[in-house]
């Protein structure tokens, strides 16, 4: 097992409220080495909180997270994160953004540019090395962000709704690209999304979360006879989609009533 999430809970203290806010409650999930697991859940179910925990940016209130058998202790370059809002440094060029992680890893200066270039090449951005983020489209920025996370060669790639801010066409082409990169690099990928189609299309397993407080409701194995051609037109795709949709439907409804109660 690459990642073991064991009975993890996370509470936040809320200003003005008497009792803490429970974002995650008793989450247990294993991620296998080299697999692409998608995590889907209604908005506000604590998906991103779970990702922060995996990244080591925050600590669980209860339970523990093991990475290669050792508890996660703070952030590290063995995990790379790709955020929905790209999080590129706007004062750095595409190349220099990719070099950032390499510098953090203390890769010799001479090697950095070369490696950064080859990763930009991998995400299809040859010729855009000297562009600044504001000169790139949303899809290209996310490609740079993916290249940046891949360049320092982490074992695990954590992706937090990375394609949610992109238009449908760009999203689909990036999804395909991600699968290609995954097959080529063999990284373990945890991919968070609220899109059912995306979860089924990308994930070899789809973990469905409950509404707040977030738990793992079910893990669905996604298997196709062949992944060639238009996967979304496959009858099995529709079945998986429906299965996940059914699992999520009650949760989305629960999330909504809670929201109404909160607002009202």
- The residue assigned the tokens 């290609």 is 180
Query: Beta strands 3-12 and 21-31: pairing type?
Result: antiparallel
89 interacts with another protein by CB under 8 A: yes
How many Cβ atoms are within 10 Å of 117's Cβ, its own excluded? 18
21 interacts with another protein by CB under 8 A: no
Distance CA 40, CA 216 (A): 10
Distance CA 1, CA 10 (A): 23
Task: Name the helix (H) or strand (E) containing 142.
Answer: helix 138-151
Residues 102-131 that bind another protein (CB under 8 A): 103-104
Residues 43-62 that bind another protein (CB under 8 A): 55-57
Distance CA 146, CA 151 (A): 8
90 interacts with another protein by CB under 8 A: yes
Take residue 11 and report the two structure tokens written for it: 């509470």
Q: Which stretch binds another protein (CB under 8 A): 28-36, 99-107, 204-212, 243-251?
A: 99-107
Take residue 119 and report the two structure tokens written for it: 């990763």
96 interacts with another protein by CB under 8 A: no
245 interacts with another protein by CB under 8 A: no
Q: Which residues contact 194 (CB under 8 A, 6 or more apart)?
A: 40, 41, 42, 43, 47, 161, 164
Q: Which stretch binds another protein (CB under 8 A): 26-34, 39-47, 72-80, 161-169?
A: 72-80
Which C-beta is closer to another protein: that of 85 or that of 173? Answer: 85
Which C-beta is closer to another protein: that of 7 or that of 76? Answer: 76
132 interacts with another protein by CB under 8 A: yes
Q: Which of 9, 29, 31, 83 binds another protein (CB under 8 A)?
A: 83
* C-alpha closest to that of 52 among 75, 36, 71, 69: 75
Find the Cα–Cα–Cα–Cα dihedral 85, 10, 51, 97, rounded to 10°: 50
Q: Which of 152, 163, 182, 191 binds another protein (CB under 8 A)?
A: 152
79 interacts with another protein by CB under 8 A: yes
Q: Which of 30, 63, 87, 113 binds another protein (CB under 8 A)?
A: 87
Question: Where on the chain is the footprint of another protein (CB under 8 A)?
Answer: 55-57, 74-77, 79-81, 83, 85, 87, 89-91, 100-101, 103-104, 132-134, 152
């Amino acid at each position: 097992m690459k990642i073991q999430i064991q009975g993890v809970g996370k509470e936040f203290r809320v200003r003005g409220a008497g009792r803490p806010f429970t974002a995650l409650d008793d989450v247990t999930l294993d991620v296998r080495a080299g697999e692409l697991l998608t995590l889907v859940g209604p908005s506000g179910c604590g998906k991103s909180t779970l990702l922060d925990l995996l990244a080591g940016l925050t600590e669980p209130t209860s339970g523990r997270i093991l990475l290669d058998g050792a508890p996660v202790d703070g952030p590290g370059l063995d995990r790379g994160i790709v955020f929905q809002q790209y999080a590129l440094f706007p004062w750095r060029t595409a190349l220099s953004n990719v070099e950032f992680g390499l510098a953090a890893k203390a890769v010799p200066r001479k090697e950095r540019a070369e490696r950064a270039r080859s990763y930009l090449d991998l995400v299809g951005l040859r010729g855009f090395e000297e562009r600044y983020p504001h000169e790139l489209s949303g899809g290209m920025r996310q490609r740079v962000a993916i290249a940046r996370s891949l360049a320092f060669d982490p074992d695990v790639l954590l992706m937090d709704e990375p394609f949610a801010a992109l238009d449908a066409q760009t999203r689909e082409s990036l999804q395909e690209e991600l699968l290609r990169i995954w097959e080529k690099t063999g990284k373990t990928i945890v991919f968070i999304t609220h899109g059912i189609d995306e979860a089924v299309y990308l994930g070899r397993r789809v973990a469905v979360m409950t509404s707040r407080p977030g738990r793992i409701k079910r893990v669905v194995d996604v298997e196709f006879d062949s992944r060639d051609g238009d996967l979304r037109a496959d009858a099995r795709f529709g079945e998986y989609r429906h299965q996940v949709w059914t699992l999520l439907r009650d949760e989305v409804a629960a999330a909504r009533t809670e929201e109404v109660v909160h607002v009202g």
